[in-house]
Structure 1
Amino acid sequence: MPLINVIPGEKIPTAPLNTRLPVWRIPGWLLLVVWLARGTFRTVVLAARYWWITGPVAVSWWLAETHGWPVLLGVFVGLVAVGVTWWRLHPVSWLRFGWYPAVAQIRRLWIYRRGWTPAMTACGLVGVHGGDRWVPRLLGVRSNRWGDRVTVRLLPGQHPDDWAKAAPRLAYTFQLREARAYTTNRPDRVVLYFARRDPLTGTVRHLPVPAAPDLSNLNLGVREDGTAYHMRLTGSHVLIAGATNSGKGSVIWSMLRSLAGGIASGLVEVWAFDPKGGMELAAGAPLFTRFAYEDPDSMAGVLEEAVKRMRQRANRLRGVTRQHTPTVDEPLIVVVVDELAALTAYLTDRKVRDRIRESLGLLLSQGRAVGIHVIAALQDPRKDVLPFRDLFPTRIALRMTEPEQADMVLGDGARDRGAVCDLIPETSAGVGYVVLDGVREPVRVRFSYLDDDDVTELAATYARGGDR
């Protein structure tokens, strides 16, 4: 089979070699026919590929020739009036189905298609097969207010990690803010997200509290593409890591605010641990079923009580169900630990430290199925500080001080795939990257911010067992 039929890309033309070949006499009329056929074929292909240009041009020409220029002008004015009316009456659907699709096609042609081959060549994404150079095929562009999603077909031998590493260079090549590569359901494609503007520059105010929390879809903030960010708590534990003033409190309080409706109704119990003497979490004390902050020994005792509760519940559910469903009688238990390293690494009392480590290890390894979930925050992500970090399916990395810390929290290669936690500005508290088990690419998120007054109001309004 010819090679051209098996390479899913576009061949880069090469200059002919200056060699002496045998002379073949070809009739002029045959050469003319070949040229005409080739030109006709290419014209048809280009007309079909850019139908959104050739179609309106052809229709406009037909109207002008058949009915005259006044009719064409009237049709144009009518379409403009329809578009303006649509925009005024329902701007959301106008942007989604009218404006942004047009922007995507224009940017595909003028920004990406025009410089596609030079960009691929400069960033090392060109493949060589059979002595010819091939460029990955640009399949489509989708745009919104914040950026562009560019779908590309991979060449043989390419891997999504190749595109993840090249994404920052591609962003600068196309003169855009930022770029990241994402996999799709199809293994032969990759999606490049190019950010034109950043929706995460401003503070995200606290979000509405649902009457009944959806544990598989907690609304916590805003993604980098401007859409709402939802987190799944069911069947998961959450690890939050970040430097001082990186916004770990924003993540914790965003989650507690999303759960507040369930706390008030008794569907959710929160067991809070604050090794800083209660300085971080005391404002939300009315939300907590258990609040341990006085000394490590008492905190170890409460954790052991949680383990006992877990085993009792496992005995009741054994043979009945494999996944706990929260009820008022059997509520979901959320164990919130602020500054986990103070309990697992920095304690001088070895016996107490070992008790805490043992209890946390049991909760992390056995608690999810029976409805006990751990949310833990810390500053130091080293392995000797948190030996069981791999037991957290959901990991959040906020601003870090060193580049390698992103991989410590999110997994090997996370920074190469776009989680540049060390480049998050100090002014962007609450901005971080989220990685889920089974998902390769990190998601950039800004969590909502609750100030002291917001936390006090939340605790008073949704106090445990209270009425809203």
Structure 2
Amino acid sequence: EIPNPNPRIVTMREVLETEDWKQAGGKLPLALGRAIAGEPVVADLARMPHVLIAGATGSGKSVCINTILTSLLYRYPPDEVRLIMIDPKMLELVVYNGIPHLLHPVVVEHKHAAKALKWTVGEMERRYKLLAANGVRSLQDFNVRVRKGESLKDPTAGGDEEAEIRPLPYICVVIDELADLMLTVQQEIEEPLARLAQMARAVGVHLILATQRPSVNVITGVIKANFPSRLSFQVSSKIDSRTVLDMNGAEQLLGNGDMLFLPADRAEPIRIQGAYLSGEETARIVAFLRQAAEELGAEEVAPPVDIIAEASELEVAALDERDELFVTAARVVVDYDQGSTSLLQRRLRVGYSRAARILDQLEQAGVVGPPDGTKPREVMIGEDELESLEAL
């Protein structure tokens, strides 16, 4: 490797002005930067179909997220691409609040992040039902039929009756700091992340996860297996490089946007100098989109959705449909005089998610009390109340 005596910044604008970008035929093209030989690198998020981004502080990770978002905002109106942004650091993505592409204001609360992902899983399932009812296999085929004006069925709107159906936009979920969420709400977000990564591609839902701490506690086996496309900036050790890319190399990168891009269809990574987008440019882009939304009344084209409230309603509905092991679980917690997810997992031989849902149902029914840190929950009923519950 020969050092360049006069390193040059690769700007976002120069990549967007290239013929490679203008003629990019992908469904969701992303302008990443320039390769070693100087040619522009344009990737297709729809083919990735999800991407994991890792890099130490100051390596260019946050700028890369901004260039990815700008690529989408530059090419697509809000009725074609919608965004869900989760920013536990409350610094990087909140600048995008107010743009019409956002399904919901940028999520900063950890518990709300889990609900946002659960809402996305619910939307994925709704789309699968919609596609299955109309005999199509992909989002693109469905949207073609909608634009042709064909009569389509919507089983999610109360039966298979014909209803007015709009084209479905792509949904991109962007999480800027996965490590922070994995420390606090890992049990609540890992399952929906895995489900989305495994199934969401066909219905136009794509994930972009970023972390500055690429350890195995953050990038777990479940997450890694479902994110075949990876972007690594400079990391602190060979171990971190192997965690992200399954090979050494990222620890030798130079920082300032120097990255290794490992697409799903390649065995060797591509070295790229990432496109640079300043904070001032990002602010101007956001201001332009906000102003355009006000002038065009974009809420009618792409109305915002209160995904947190809808996710809460879905949780309540799930609690109302009591699990078939509900009464057995009530008997277990009364017999042991304590309630915990691990107890239900052992005694009922069920997985964590189902045990946690049953415990929530027991709390709603007044069988156990609310959670108290790491302590088991207090049992609120005795044998008499349990017998009347079993008789229902």
TM-score (norm 1): 0.51
Find the counterpart in structure 1 of residue 280 from structure 2.
453
Find the counterpart in structure 2 of residue 205 from structure 1.
11
Q: What is the aligned counterpart of 1:383 among 216, 223, 226? A: 216
1:323 and 1:257 map into 2 onto residues whose CA distance is 25
**What amino acid maps onto 2:225 in structure 1?**
D
Secondary structure, in 3 states, of the residue corresponding to 2:97?
Answer: helix
Judged with a 3 Å threshold, the aligned counterparts in structure 2 of structure 1 residues 464 and 332 are, in CA distance, closer, same or farther, namely farther
Secondary structure, in 3 states, of the residue corresponding to 2:208?
Answer: strand
**What amino acid maps onto 1:369 in structure 2?**
A
1:292 and 1:216 map into 2 onto residues whose CA distance is 21
1:215 and 1:465 map into 2 onto residues whose CA distance is 24
Find the counterpart in structure 1 of residue 176 from structure 2.
338
Q: What is the aligned counterpart of 2:238 among 399, 403, 409? A: 403
Find the counterpart in structure 1 of residue 88 from structure 2.
275
Find the counterpart in structure 2 of residue 367 from structure 1.
200
Q: What is the aligned counterpart of 2:52 among 239, 258, 268? A: 239
1:9-158 aligned at under 5 Å gives the runs none
Q: What is the aligned counterpart of 2:124 among 310, 317, 328? A: 310
1:296 and 1:264 map into 2 onto residues whose CA distance is 29
**What amino acid maps onto 1:231 in structure 2?**
A
Find the counterpart in structure 1 of residue 150 from structure 2.
none
**What amino acid maps onto 2:240 in structure 1?**
Q
8 Å CA contact retained: 1:398, 1:431: yes
1:256 and 1:464 map into 2 onto residues whose CA distance is 18
8 Å CA contact retained: 1:262, 1:268: no
8 Å CA contact retained: 2:97, 2:106: no
**What amino acid maps onto 1:297 in structure 2?**
K
Secondary structure, in 3 states, of the residue corresponding to 1:439?
Answer: coil
Find the counterpart in structure 2 of residue 323 from structure 1.
138
Judged with a 3 Å threshold, the aligned counterparts in structure 2 of structure 1 residues 267 and 223 are, in CA distance, closer, same or farther, namely same
Find the counterpart in structure 2 of residue 251 from structure 1.
64
Q: CA deviation at 1:377?
A: 0.3
Find the counterpart in structure 2 of residue 46 from structure 1.
none
Judged with a 3 Å threshold, the aligned counterparts in structure 2 of structure 1 residues 432 and 465 are, in CA distance, closer, same or farther, namely same
Secondary structure, in 3 states, of the residue corresponding to 1:405?
Answer: helix
Q: CA deviation at 1:264?
A: 3.2
Q: What is the aligned counterpart of 2:268 among 441, 447, 453? A: 441
1:212 and 1:334 map into 2 onto residues whose CA distance is 22
Question: How many residues are treated as equivalent by the alignment?
Answer: 260
The runs of 5 or more residues in structure 2 that have no matched partner are 144-165, 297-392
Q: CA deviation at 1:232?
A: 1.4
CA deviation vs aligned residue, 1:179-223 (integer Å, no higher than 9, x gap): xxxxxxxxxxxxxxxxx8599x32221233889984354222111
Secondary structure, in 3 states, of the residue corresponding to 2:91?
Answer: coil
> Higher relative CO (CA 8 A, sep ≥ 6), structure 1 or 2?
2
2:112 and 2:32 map into 1 onto residues whose CA distance is 31
1:258 and 1:221 map into 2 onto residues whose CA distance is 11
**What amino acid maps onto 1:362 in structure 2?**
R
1:464 and 1:340 map into 2 onto residues whose CA distance is 31
Find the counterpart in structure 1 of residue 113 from structure 2.
299
Pair 1:227 & 2:60 matched = no
Find the counterpart in structure 1 of residue 250 from structure 2.
421
1:291 and 1:253 map into 2 onto residues whose CA distance is 17
**What amino acid maps onto 1:410 in structure 2?**
L
**What amino acid maps onto 1:460 in structure 2?**
A
8 Å CA contact retained: 1:273, 1:291: no
Judged with a 3 Å threshold, the aligned counterparts in structure 2 of structure 1 residues 385 and 462 are, in CA distance, closer, same or farther, namely same
Judged with a 3 Å threshold, the aligned counterparts in structure 2 of structure 1 residues 265 and 356 are, in CA distance, closer, same or farther, namely closer
Judged with a 3 Å threshold, the aligned counterparts in structure 2 of structure 1 residues 285 and 353 are, in CA distance, closer, same or farther, namely same
**What amino acid maps onto 2:120 in structure 1?**
A
**Runs of 4+ more than 4 Å apart:** 196-199, 209-214
2:44 and 2:279 map into 1 onto residues whose CA distance is 26
Judged with a 3 Å threshold, the aligned counterparts in structure 2 of structure 1 residues 215 and 464 are, in CA distance, closer, same or farther, namely farther
**What amino acid maps onto 1:221 in structure 2?**
G
Find the counterpart in structure 2 of residue 290 from structure 1.
104
1:341 and 1:263 map into 2 onto residues whose CA distance is 30
Find the counterpart in structure 1 of residue 258 from structure 2.
431
8 Å CA contact retained: 1:264, 1:465: no
TM-score (norm 2): 0.61
Secondary structure, in 3 states, of the residue corresponding to 1:335?
Answer: strand
2:234 and 2:127 map into 1 onto residues whose CA distance is 38
CA deviation vs aligned residue, 1:231-261 (integer Å, no higher than 9, x gap): 1111410100000111111211111111113
Judged with a 3 Å threshold, the aligned counterparts in structure 2 of structure 1 residues 198 and 231 are, in CA distance, closer, same or farther, namely farther
Higher strand proportion? 1
**What amino acid maps onto 1:342 in structure 2?**
D
- Over the aligned positions, Cα root-mean-square deviation in angstroms equals 2.7
Judged with a 3 Å threshold, the aligned counterparts in structure 2 of structure 1 residues 391 and 463 are, in CA distance, closer, same or farther, namely farther
Q: Which moved more, 1:205-214 or 1:222-231?
A: 205-214
Judged with a 3 Å threshold, the aligned counterparts in structure 2 of structure 1 residues 429 and 382 are, in CA distance, closer, same or farther, namely same
8 Å CA contact retained: 2:96, 2:106: no
Secondary structure, in 3 states, of the residue corresponding to 1:290?
Answer: coil
Q: Which structure: larger Rg?
A: 1
1:198 and 1:335 map into 2 onto residues whose CA distance is 39
